[in-house]
Amino acid sequence: MKRDFLNISDLSKDEVYQVIEYAIKLKEDKFMDKTLTGKSIGLIFMKQSTRTRVSFEVGVYQMGGQPLYISGITTQLSRNEDIKDTARVLSRYLDGIVIRTYSHSEVEELAKYGSIPVINALTDYLHPCQILADLQTIYERFGKIEGLKLAYIGDGNNMANTWLIAGGLMGLNVSIATPNGYEPNGKAVKEALELAKDSKANIEITNNPIEAVKDADIVYTDVWISMGQDNNEEKKKAFKDFQINEKLLKFANKNVIVMHCLPAHKGEEISEETFERFADVIFDEAENRLHSQKALMSLLFKNS
């Protein structure tokens, strides 16, 4: 039976740890897993990409498969062909689909009508592949995930939504600080709180960045203006007190690490000084996209 990965909660807590631990092994031996031998994986990109495209193309190759890059503007999707028709056609050609697009409902429909595994490589609602790499990075740094505190400072975007759900799933305490009116999606908050009933994670939404970073082990941020949004100067003004910098980090734990999913707009969501101080963590995090996604594909495709 095929499995999709549209949301971090499509995996169990144990499966997330399984992916992380296997990703660490793959980091040491990049060609050890050949699960995709003889398989062709379609990589559909409706949005521009650096890390996602390169990490998936390289990962599929290292696992013995054929990565097929598909630019959205060159397909009939750009001429409003039904998603369900695209799903049924591509299922006849491919062994799996990775898609990076705008609407989360498009990915859900692709998975519903496709007979092959579908991986969400980013939507405006969620970015679960990034979070897998982030969880791997946290585990490598701290030796655990459960019980730590992560403070997310910035826009309540797809990253904030996914961190909430991941926190609820993994027992990671998550505090999200955004300006008033820029809070995370209510659906994600609801799912996180439901998951937290079992994991005992503390889920918090605030408009005060100092309150959010208090006693944080990890401080996380993303760009203020997400891909596809206008370069809104009014929005930037609303976020001026939500920059990750040395002053704010004084309220976090002394061994805090700072993470960023990239690309970074230094001088906006993060200061140049702070970015460079934690550059090793941030670029380890970027590298881990490759390893964690390979471990994920091994899990999803080994029985497909």
Structure confidence by residue, pLDDT tens digits, 106-143: 999 999 999 999 999 999 999 999 999 999 999 999 99
Say which CATH topology domain 8-126+289-301 has.
Answer: Rossmann fold (3.40.50)
Compute and round to an integer the Cα radius of gyration of the chain: 19
What are φ and ψ of residue 5, in 5° steps?
A: -130, 90
Asked if the model's pLDDT at residue 216 lies above 70, the reply is yes
Catalytic residue (one of 100, 104, 260, 291)? 100
pLDDT of 77 over the 80 cut: no
Residue 229 in this model has a pLDDT that exceeds 70: no
Identified catalytic residue from 62, 130, 243, 293: 130
Average pLDDT over residues 58-81: 86
Set 155, 261, 284, 291: catalytic member:
261
76 is catalytic: no
Contact 26, 59 (CB under 8 A): no
What pLDDT score does 236 carry? 87
Query: CB within 8 A of 237, min separation 6: which ones?
Result: none
Instruction: Give catalytic status of residue 129 as yes or no.
Output: no
Domain definitions of the chain by residue range:
8-126+289-301, 130-285
- The pairing of strands 40-45 and 66-71 is parallel
Per the residue annotation, which of 62, 289, 291, 293 is the catalytic one?
289
In angstroms, rounded to a whole number, what is the distance separating the alpha carbons of residues 140 and 148? Answer: 13
Tokens of 125: 């609602």
Residue 29: count other Cβ atoms within 10 Å of its Cβ.
8
Fold of 130-285: Rossmann fold (3.40.50)
* Whether the predicted pLDDT of 18 surpasses 70: yes
Which among 136, 222, 243, 293 is annotated as catalytic? Answer: 222
Q: Helix axis angle, 13-28 relative to 128-142, nearest 10°?
A: 70
Tell whether the model's pLDDT for residue 219 goes beyond 80.
yes
What spatial distance separates the first Cα and last Cα of the chain, rounded to whole Å? 7
Of 51, 53, 127, 291, the catalytic one is: 127
Are 224 and 268 in contact by the 8 Å Cβ rule? The answer is yes
88 counts as catalytic: no
- Does the annotation count 289 as an active-site position? yes
Instruction: Give yes or no for a contact between 184 and 190, defined as CB atoms under 8 angstroms apart.
Output: no
Edge-to-edge strand order for the sheet containing 40-45? 66-71, 40-45, 96-100, 118-120
Q: Is it the case that residue 148 has pLDDT exceeding 90?
A: yes
Would you call 100 a catalytic residue per the annotation? yes
Beta bridge partners of 42: 68, 97
pLDDT exceeds 90 at position 75: no
Average pLDDT over every residue of 254-279? 97
Please tell me the predicted confidence (pLDDT) of residue 227. Answer: 60
8-126+289-301 and 130-285: identical CATH topology? yes
